[in-house]
């Protein structure tokens, strides 16, 4: 297990109106993929706008350990010299994935079809997360995987060359599992098929095509079917990473709940497989408008203008969940200030993220004085009709960046400050979070 950093508590108190323009950092999912695919191309790729958070840096370190050359330039772009599909080298040490599920699951897929063995370790949160969802299909492809009890980290993957091409129907809506299989398929002769009954974020498909992979997506009986021809040759690319909608979510919710707020978040990725939060908030009455719509790095992007709004409670349809899966902690905060009841269901997946996000958010919001009932697969939240929460609580974030940022936002409209027990995990996805928040609180 990787070493734990000392906790870094912080207090977030009642705020005046938030105003100004900010730009969110690069998308975490796309940044991981930009590093991985560039590291598999032959030649030099350039990446602008890469998220320089701990999770992405863990991916970069692992790809370096397997032979890629990855360097940050003085102007902030990253240059990656790839090894070519099939060219990964045996890492000398265990790959430390820190807190990052995406790094772990995608790289397990990559190793599974190379002639190398890699051991994956991580922090206490990652070591509690289920890996059977990738172990099972990668084993069918021929990888030899030895995991800790319950299919957890630490685990080792011994790849097989040539691996056996697989046609696999995802039993759980997971872009990480889908992407792990596509990465394994890159060095596998023949055709790898992944069948997705419920669509999940499609960054891997888009970017693999951009790198020249032979990949097609069709629909069969209402499911998405992704077909990838193996033994791919990836061409180096110039990539611009769009802003992360999952990071923008904290500022969207903050502007909606703090009276008088008027905020623009620039360059937010609005890929339909990621934009569920905005659709649901608008259905609740949120004043969010998009301007300057454009494409960045093959992804739709816009500047979002958000004004404080009176929100109305809603029943969130479960089928929207995959398109806002990481935004639920922030969404629960928005719901806590709505008028009426918000009900969510079908969110079992939230129990296996960096923390059990249903239990952790229910406990945090209840401690702050919100009316929250936890069910097996969701939360039922009675809103304050725009009134502040009592606050005055210390929140346990359980090594989960999104809990820390969500409850920091809740503190901005609470009578007594909310103390976050540890802001350190925020560095995994959004190191600039507190600085950007402060810039909106002080600007006039």
Ligand X SMILES: C=C(OP(=O)(O)O)C(=O)O
**Which positions are annotated as active-site residues?**
326
Site residues (CB under 6 A) for ligand S3P, limited to 79-98: none
Strand pairing of 394-395 and 152-158? unpaired
φ and ψ at residue 268, rounded to 5 degrees: -85, 130
Q: Do the Cβ atoms of 409 and 336 come closer than 8 Å?
A: no
d(CA 262, CA 52): 28
CB of 326 to ligand X, least distance (A): 4
Q: Is 373 annotated as a binding residue?
A: no
Size of the chain in residues: 444
Residue 31 interacts with which of ligand S3P, ligand X, none, CB < 5 to 8 Å by class: none
d(CA 418, CA 355): 19
Q: Which is nearer to ligand S3P, 15 or 29 (CB)?
A: 29
- Beta pairing partners, 300: 295
Q: Does residue 174 belong to the site contacting ligand S3P (CB under 6 A)?
A: yes
Beta strands in 16-128 (DSSP E): 19-23, 44-48, 69-72, 78-81, 95-96, 117-121
Q: Which is nearer to ligand S3P, 255 or 325 (CB)?
A: 325
CB of 249 to ligand X, least distance (A): 10
φ and ψ at residue 245, rounded to 5 degrees: -65, -25
Q: Exposed, middle or buried, 336 (CB in 10 Å: 0-12/13-18/19+)?
A: buried
Q: Which is nearer to ligand X, 114 or 402 (CB)?
A: 402
Q: Does residue 424 belong to the site contacting ligand S3P (CB under 6 A)?
A: no
Interface residue with ligand X among 274, 353, 398, 413 (CB under 6 A) is 353
Structure tokens at 308: 């404080």
Residue 100 interacts with which of ligand X, ligand S3P, none, CB < 5 to 8 Å by class: ligand X
Round to the nearest angstrom and report the end-to-end CA distance of the chain: 46
Q: Which of 139, 107, 91, 117 is nearest to 40 (CA)?
A: 107
Give the CA angle between residues 359, 363, 367 to the nearest 5°: 170
In whole angstroms, how large is the CA radius of gyration of the chain?
Answer: 21
Name the segment binding ligand S3P (CB under 6 A); options: 84-92, 170-178, 181-189, 225-233.
Answer: 170-178
Q: Is 402 annotated as a binding residue?
A: yes
Q: Which residue has the tokens 């906790």?
A: 7
d(CA 96, CA 126): 10
CB of 322 to ligand S3P, least distance (A): 7
**Per-residue binding letters, 413-432, with ligand X (x by CB under 6 A):** ----------------x---
Alpha helices in 52-99 (DSSP H): 54-65
Q: Does residue 29 belong to the site contacting ligand S3P (CB under 6 A)?
A: yes
Q: Is 326 annotated as a binding residue?
A: yes
Q: What is the DSSP letter of 24?
A: P
φ and ψ at residue 193, rounded to 5 degrees: -120, 130
Name the segment binding ligand S3P (CB under 6 A); options: 175-183, 236-244, 287-295, 333-341.
Answer: 175-183
Q: Does residue 271 belong to the site contacting ligand S3P (CB under 6 A)?
A: no
Interface residue with ligand S3P among 179, 261, 342, 384 (CB under 6 A) is 179
Interface residue with ligand S3P among 19, 59, 102, 323 (CB under 6 A) is 102
Q: Do the Cβ atoms of 191 and 229 come closer than 8 Å?
A: yes
Residue 179 interacts with which of ligand S3P, ligand X, none, CB < 5 to 8 Å by class: ligand S3P
Residue 40 interacts with which of ligand X, ligand S3P, none, CB < 5 to 8 Å by class: none
d(CA 258, CA 410): 9
Q: Which of 373, 306, 302 is nearest to 335 (CA)?
A: 373
Interface residue with ligand X among 114, 178, 274, 402 (CB under 6 A) is 402
> Count residues contacting ligand X (CB under 6 A)?
9
d(CA 170, CA 133): 9
Interface residue with ligand X among 15, 59, 100, 360 (CB under 6 A) is 100
Q: Do the Cβ atoms of 162 and 181 come closer than 8 Å?
A: no
Q: Does residue 125 belong to the site contacting ligand S3P (CB under 6 A)?
A: no
Cβ-closest residue to ligand X?
101
Residue 429 interacts with which of ligand X, ligand S3P, none, CB < 5 to 8 Å by class: ligand X
CB of 340 to ligand X, least distance (A): 28
> Count residues contacting ligand S3P (CB under 6 A)?
10
Q: Does residue 406 belong to the site contacting ligand S3P (CB under 6 A)?
A: no
CB of 429 to ligand X, least distance (A): 5
- From the annotation, which residues make up the binding site for phosphoenolpyruvate? 28, 101, 129, 176, 357, 402
Binding residues for 3-phosphoshikimate: 28-29, 33, 174, 176, 326, 353
Binding site for ligand X (CB under 6 A): 55, 100-102, 326, 353-354, 402, 429
Interface with ligand S3P by CB under 6 A: which residues?
Answer: 29, 102, 174-176, 179, 201, 325-326, 349
């Amino acid at each position: 297990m990787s070493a734990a950093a000392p906790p870094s508590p912080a207090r977030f108190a009642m705020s005046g109106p938030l105003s100004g323009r900010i730009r969110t950092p690069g998308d975490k999912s796309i940044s991981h993929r930009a590093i991985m695919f560039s590291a598999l191309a032959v030649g030099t790729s350039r990446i602008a706008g890469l998220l320089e958070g701990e999770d992405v840096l863990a991916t970069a370190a692992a790809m370096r350990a397997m032979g890629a050359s990855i360097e940050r330039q003085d102007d902030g772009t990253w240059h990656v010299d790839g090894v070519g599909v099939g060219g990964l080298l045996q890492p000398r040490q265990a790959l430390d994935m820190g807190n990052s599920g995406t790094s772990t699951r995608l790289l397990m897929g990559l190793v599974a079809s190379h002639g190398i063995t890699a051991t994956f370790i991580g922090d206490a949160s990652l070591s509690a997360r289920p890996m059977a969802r990738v172990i099972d299909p990668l084993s069918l492809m021929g990888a030899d995987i030895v995991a800790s009890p319950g299919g957890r980290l630490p685990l080792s993957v011994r790849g097989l060359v040539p691996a056996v091409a697989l046609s696999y129907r995802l039993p759980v809506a997971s872009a990480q599992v889908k992407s792990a299989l596509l990465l394994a398929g890159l060095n596998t002769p023949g055709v790898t098929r992944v069948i997705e009954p419920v669509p999940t974020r499609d960054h891997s498909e888009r970017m693999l095509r951009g790198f020249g992979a032979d990949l097609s997506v069709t629909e069969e009986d209402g499911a998405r079917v992704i077909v990838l021809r193996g033994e791919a040759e990836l061409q180096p690319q110039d990539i611009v990473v769009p802003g992360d909608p999952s990071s923008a979510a904290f500022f969207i919710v903050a502007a909606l709940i703090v009276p008088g707020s008027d905020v623009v978040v620039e360059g937010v990725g609005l890929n339909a497989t990621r934009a569920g939060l905005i659709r649901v908030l608008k259905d609740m009455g949120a004043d969010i408008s998009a301007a300057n719509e454009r494409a960045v790095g093959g992804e739709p992007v816009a500047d979002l203008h958000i004004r404080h709004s009176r929100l109305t409670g809603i029943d969130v349809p479960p089928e929207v969940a995959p398109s806002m899966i990481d935004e639920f902690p922030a969404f629960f905060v928005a719901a806590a200030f709505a008028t009426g009841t918000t009900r969510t269901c079908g969110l079992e997946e939230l129990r296996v993220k960096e923390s059990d996000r249903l239990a952790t958010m229910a406990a945090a919001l209840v401690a702050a004085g919100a009316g929250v009932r936890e069910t097996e697969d969701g939360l039922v939240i009675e809103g304050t009709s725009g009134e502040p929460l009592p606050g005055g609580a210390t929140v346990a974030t359980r090594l989960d960046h999104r809990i820390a940022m969500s409850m920091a936002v809740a503190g901005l409209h609470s009578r007594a400050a909310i103390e976050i027990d540890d802001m350190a995990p925020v560095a995994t996805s959004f190191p600039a979070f507190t600085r950007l928040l402060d810039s909106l609180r002080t600007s006039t």
